[in-house]
Amino acid sequence: MGAVLIWGYRVWPGVLLGAILVNLNAEMTADVVFQQVLCIGLGSTAQALVGAWLIRRFVGFPGAYDDRAAVGKFVLLSGPVACLTSATWSVAGLWLIGVLKHDLVFNWFTWWVGDSIGVLVFLPLLLIAFGQPRGVWRKRTYSVGLPLFAAFSAALLVFYLADQQQRTNQWEILAAACMLMISVAGSTLLVAGRSEATLRASEQRFRSMFELAAVGIAQVRPDGKFMRVNQSLADILGYSQEELAGLTFQSLTHPDDLAMDLENAQRLRDGEIESYSTEKRYRRRDGSFVWAKLNVAMVFDEAHSPSYFISVIEDITQRRQAEDQLQQEQALLKKLIELLEAERRMVALDIHDGITQDIFGAQLHLQSAVAHVESAASAEKLQVVETQLGKAIKECRRLITDLRPMILEEAGIVEAITHLIHDEQERSGLTIAFRSDVQFDRLEPKLEGAMFRVVQEALSNVRKHGQVEHAAVELIQRNGAVDITVRDSGVGFDKEQVSKDCFGLRGIHERARLFGGSAKIDSHPGEGTTVHIQMPVQSAD
């Protein structure tokens, strides 16, 4: 039956000749007439033709037989149903030529059981060896072939036991053997088929994901050579898929990134890590370099030997370029702030050493002149001028403090904020509570300057817009960072209505960001405003 299925109906003469030779050889010692052997051969050939036709007609051939319906029809039609042909033909023929005279029903049943078992064992084995599709049947050597071989051995034992029993028990034993083979053949084919169907579905999903993924995916041999790549990776690197298949990841990796990549790959092969993620540069076909985010995992075979890498490669060139540009802009902005602070310092020094000293000198001369004026009216006028000069000196000192408080350089951020709050209270009449809880003595000067400007801007906003008499400032060190909070219970504002050109709030955010920190401003109309800034601690050397 297997030969007819695989090679077609044209091989029936060979099937007939083979059946005759096998039975002639088996019956030589019995001195059986040739008619008996021919009858058996014709019955076997008819069975092969009928079984092949039934399978082709109702199951389909070639086929994988990986679902319940196909397996059930294949087992029943090829075994019990098709074998009715040989058993009926052969027993009837042998009865007609006078070879069988008694126990026709039992002989028919024995014949049918034996042929059914033989077909259920050897037909799948023949398909494993020659059947189509080859990729499917070849994989069933162990999952189907070994169970069938074991079941056939059990069936032979059953036949031996049946031969030792009384006729009544032989019926039951032979029926049990037939049912055993039907069950084993059906179960092994069904289990194997379902497993293969599940595997094929999984492989199909993987292929679809592999080919349609928007990111690059590659299977890479343990030595670094690309086994398989998808089109997205080919597009990222500017090669065709075929060209990449002949290259290694080492040859495409930027020299500065190669050592790190090789170290991680070795750790994967050794089983030290399950996966790793990094950012690296790949050389494109045109010689340019592309930044990529690389995620790699190692696949091991059944012996736990490295089989291949799975690499997922995402083009992040635009992101890295944007980050580089942002870093350059931040560096430029930080430099501009430094220049601005330097300019403030110079202006503050000019005011202190120039106009302030001149006004102070003028005030001293005026005080001396007032002592020598005899006219009370003239003395009163001079005292008014002296008072105005005193106010001018006070305003100069305020400007110096706003531009660059000397106390910041001399005593640090805590004392500078304390001095700022004192000046703000005198200037605006605000009552400002200050709480400080820090462990550092001094911070990096640029960071202290940024923190001072943030508090200065926040208090200036309270004074100008808060419409409130009380405010609070906190300077707290927590886990390697400094939290600065400026809080008031004033009129507040709607953040959505604030113009993007509001340089005060924008300056608070930018200063915090430039030093690796963050700023958050919470405010609602009628509920006051809270400015919270967090900056990393950078102690002064």
* Separation CA 147–CA 153 (nearest Å): 10
Query: Is residue 391 predicted with pLDDT exceeding 80?
Result: yes
Is pTM beyond 0.75? Reply is: no
Residue 460 domain-assigned (yes or no): yes
Query: Is residue 390 predicted with pLDDT exceeding 60?
Result: yes
Query: 3-state DSSP call for residue 225?
Result: strand
Mean pLDDT confidence for 188-201: 56
Range of the domain at 381: 332-404
Q: What is the pLDDT of residue 265?
A: 92
Q: What is the pLDDT of residue 171?
A: 47
Shared domain for 6 and 68, answered yes or no, is yes
Mean pLDDT confidence for 297-314: 88
Three-class SS string for 82-114? CHHHHHHHHHHHHHHCCCCCCCHHHHHHHHHHH
User: Which residues, other chains included, contact 63 with Cβ-Cβ below 8 Å and sequence gap of 6+?
Assistant: 70
Residue 427 domain-assigned (yes or no): yes
Shared domain for 182 and 45, answered yes or no, is yes
Q: What is the pLDDT of residue 267?
A: 92
Among residues 236, 106, 123, the alpha carbon closest in space to that of 174 is found at 106
Shared domain for 484 and 394, answered yes or no, is no
pLDDT band at residue 202 under the 50/70/90 scheme: low
Q: What is the pLDDT of residue 512?
A: 83
Q: Please name the residue that has the structure tokens 């019990």.
A: 80
Shared domain for 174 and 63, answered yes or no, is yes
Shared domain for 39 and 101, answered yes or no, is yes
More reliable by pLDDT, 147 or 299: 299
Q: If you average pLDDT over every residue of the chain, what do you get?
A: 80
Shared domain for 347 and 276, answered yes or no, is no
How many structural domains is the chain composed of?
4
More reliable by pLDDT, 75 or 92: 92
* Cβ neighbours of 8 (radius 10 Å): 10
28 by Cβ neighbours in 10 Å (0-12 / 13-18 / 19+) ranks as exposed
Q: What is the pLDDT of residue 25?
A: 55
434: part of which helix (H) or strand (E)?
strand 431-437
pLDDT band at residue 27 under the 50/70/90 scheme: very low
- Of 315, 346, 375, the residue at which a domain comes to its end is 315
pLDDT band at residue 168 under the 50/70/90 scheme: very low
Looking at the chain, the whole-number percentage of residues with pLDDT higher than 90 is: 18
Q: What is the pLDDT of residue 203?
A: 63
Q: What is the CATH number of the domain that holds 254?
A: 3.30.450.20
Residue 476 domain-assigned (yes or no): yes
Contact 174, 109 (CB under 8 A): yes
Query: Is residue 175 predicted with pLDDT exceeding 60?
Result: no
Residue 89 domain-assigned (yes or no): yes
- Of 270, 285, 315, the residue at which a domain comes to its end is 315
Q: What is the pLDDT of residue 191?
A: 52
Specify which of 138-142, 186-190, 471-475 reaches the highest per-range mean pLDDT. 471-475
Q: What is the pLDDT of residue 186?
A: 46
Mean pLDDT confidence for 332-353: 75
Query: 3-state DSSP call for residue 165?
Result: coil
Contact 1, 19 (CB under 8 A): no
Supply the DSSP symbol for 253: B
Q: What is the pLDDT of residue 447?
A: 84
CB burial readout 322-335, b (16+ within 10 A) else e: eeeeeeeeeeeebe
Looking at the chain, the whole-number percentage of residues with pLDDT higher than 70 is: 83
Specify which of 22-31, 143-152, 226-235 reaches the highest per-range mean pLDDT. 226-235
Q: What is the pLDDT of residue 193?
A: 52
Please give the single-letter amino acid code of residue 309: F
More reliable by pLDDT, 400 or 461: 461
Strand positions, DSSP E, 147-255? 216-220, 226-229
Residue-wise DSSP of 255-317:
HHHHHHHHHHHHHHHTTS-SEEEEEEEEE-TTS-EEEEEEEEEEEE-TTS-EEEEEEEEEE-H
Query: Is residue 107 predicted with pLDDT exceeding 90?
Result: no
Q: What is the pLDDT of residue 167?
A: 45
Shared domain for 105 and 10, answered yes or no, is yes
Radius of gyration of the chain (CA): 48
Q: Please name the residue that has the structure tokens 């084919």.
A: 189
Among residues 265, 241, 329, the alpha carbon closest in space to that of 510 is found at 329
Q: What is the CATH number of the domain that holds 434?
A: 3.30.565.10
Shared domain for 248 and 128, answered yes or no, is no
Residue 153 domain-assigned (yes or no): yes
What region, left, alpha or beta, does residue 271 occupy, with left being phi > 0 and alpha being psi -120 to 50 degrees? left
Contact 237, 215 (CB under 8 A): no
Specify which of 49-63, 328-342, 380-394 reaches the highest per-range mean pLDDT. 49-63
Among residues 103, 113, 111, 145, the alpha carbon closest in space to that of 128 is found at 145
pLDDT band at residue 155 under the 50/70/90 scheme: low
- What are the tokens at 287? 């010689």
pLDDT band at residue 372 under the 50/70/90 scheme: confident
- What are the tokens at 107? 């002989």
Lowest-confidence region among 26-40, 141-155, 470-484: 26-40
CB burial readout 32-66, b (16+ within 10 A) else e: beeebbbbbbbbbbbbbbbbbebbbeebeeebbbb
pLDDT band at residue 206 under the 50/70/90 scheme: low
Lowest-confidence region among 37-51, 198-212, 433-447: 198-212
Query: 3-state DSSP call for residue 520?
Result: strand
pLDDT band at residue 311 under the 50/70/90 scheme: very high
Lowest-confidence region among 84-88, 153-157, 412-416, 490-494: 153-157
Mean pLDDT confidence for 504-515: 79
Specify which of 83-92, 220-229, 356-365 reaches the highest per-range mean pLDDT. 220-229
pLDDT band at residue 199 under the 50/70/90 scheme: low
Please give the single-letter amino acid code of residue 372: H
User: Which residues, other chains included, contact 214 with Cβ-Cβ below 8 Å and sequence gap of 6+?
Assistant: 232
Query: Is residue 41 predicted with pLDDT exceeding 80?
Result: yes
Shared domain for 391 and 423, answered yes or no, is no
Assess whether the previous peptide bond of 445 is cis (omega < 30° from 0): no
Shared domain for 510 and 493, answered yes or no, is yes
More reliable by pLDDT, 374 or 451: 451
- What are the tokens at 152? 């056939």
Residue 324 domain-assigned (yes or no): no
Shared domain for 285 and 395, answered yes or no, is no
Shared domain for 186 and 228, answered yes or no, is no
Residue 206 domain-assigned (yes or no): no
Among residues 297, 311, 309, the alpha carbon closest in space to that of 217 is found at 311
* Separation CA 155–CA 158 (nearest Å): 5
- Of 371, 404, 437, the residue at which a domain comes to its end is 404
Residue 227 domain-assigned (yes or no): yes
Query: Is residue 190 predicted with pLDDT exceeding 50?
Result: no
